[in-house]
Amino acid sequence: MRITRVLGAALLTLGLAAGPAAADSTPSASPSEDDAAPTSAGTSFRTATEIDQGRTATASASAGDYLYWSFPADIGQRPTVRATVKLPAEHAAQTWQIDVYDGLRRRQACQYGAQTRTADAGTASVELACVLRTVRAWSEPWANDPLPGTYYLRLTAVDVPTADLGQPVAAEVRVESKDIGGAAAVDGRLAEPLVPGVAVASRQDEDDSGVSAVLSGIEPDDGWSSGWWSDRWVWTAAGAVLAALAGIGGYALTRGSGRPRHVPPNA
């Protein structure tokens, strides 16, 4: 009975510990469909159109234009950027490309995905995709690791015949993320996410200057992560509890009844 109670307590503890981790890994609810999705794109980093993850943004443009959007990415997320370009009925072969930059405007490499594709003559549309590396809480100054903050998506045609320049095209972009969790957790964190103008805004808040100078106001629905918490703390605590209970159970099994053995008197 004692061993049964010990095992029951261990399972209960593990279930309670795993509960928060399972809740954290659940994808957040998509934004309300009542919120209008952006229908235009910027033409530079400074004029990039802000979009939320999980929403499809559209834009009408001309072949040869540079289209920019920005989106937030937080610690532990692995963003996937997808773009679809609808082409005119008649056109020559065109090559389209998507590039992603972080808050410091450093180009981020794609782990996998068709970042560049060529649409043959007469093709109705071309689809592009880029899966980024997992966003880290902290990185060495010399590294090019993706860090929390604003990310920029640039869509453009890199090889368009002169006769096709200026032809109308329609673009759709969508950003979604997979929550990697504690598997990507590191020690340390940034003082502030890499959001354009956030350092200026912080100084103004300290000086009570008034107006904020943040250039990008978009952020995750539940705010930016602090960087110190991850589900690895839950599993570490659960492992420690299970190890302690296993030690108690092993001691209970090996120590015996505790009564002294009967020694027959010497004949």
19-31 pLDDT per residue, tens: 444 434 334 444 4
Least confident of 13-17, 20-24, 111-115, 171-175: 20-24
pLDDT band at 142 (very low <50, low <70, confident <90, very high): confident
User: What is the rounded CA–CA span in Å between residue 26 and residue 204?
Assistant: 36
Mean pLDDT over residues 27-38, rounded?
A: 55
Which domains does the chain show, CATH number per domain? 36-220 (2.60.120.380)
- 155 vs 206, which has greater pLDDT? 155
Q: Looking at the chain, how many residues does it have?
A: 267
Residue 192, burial from CB neighbour count under 10 angstroms (0-12, 13-18, 19+):
middle
- Asked whether residue 118 carries a pLDDT value surpassing 60, the answer given is yes
| pLDDT tens per residue across span 192-247 | 777 876 544 444 444 444 444 345 567 776 666 654 555 656 666 777 778 888 88
Question: Average pLDDT, whole number, for the chain?
Answer: 76
Token reading at 238:
């659960």
pLDDT band at 83 (very low <50, low <70, confident <90, very high): very high
Residue 133, burial from CB neighbour count under 10 angstroms (0-12, 13-18, 19+):
middle
Query: Using H for helix, E for strand and C for coil, what is the string for 50-73?
Result: ECCCCCEEEEEEECCCCEEEEEEE
Contact 110, 51 (CB under 8 A): no
User: What is the rounded CA–CA span in Å between residue 27 and residue 76?
Assistant: 13
Contact 66, 160 (CB under 8 A): no
Q: Where are the beta strands (DSSP E) in 123-163?
A: 125-131, 149-159
pLDDT band at 78 (very low <50, low <70, confident <90, very high): very high
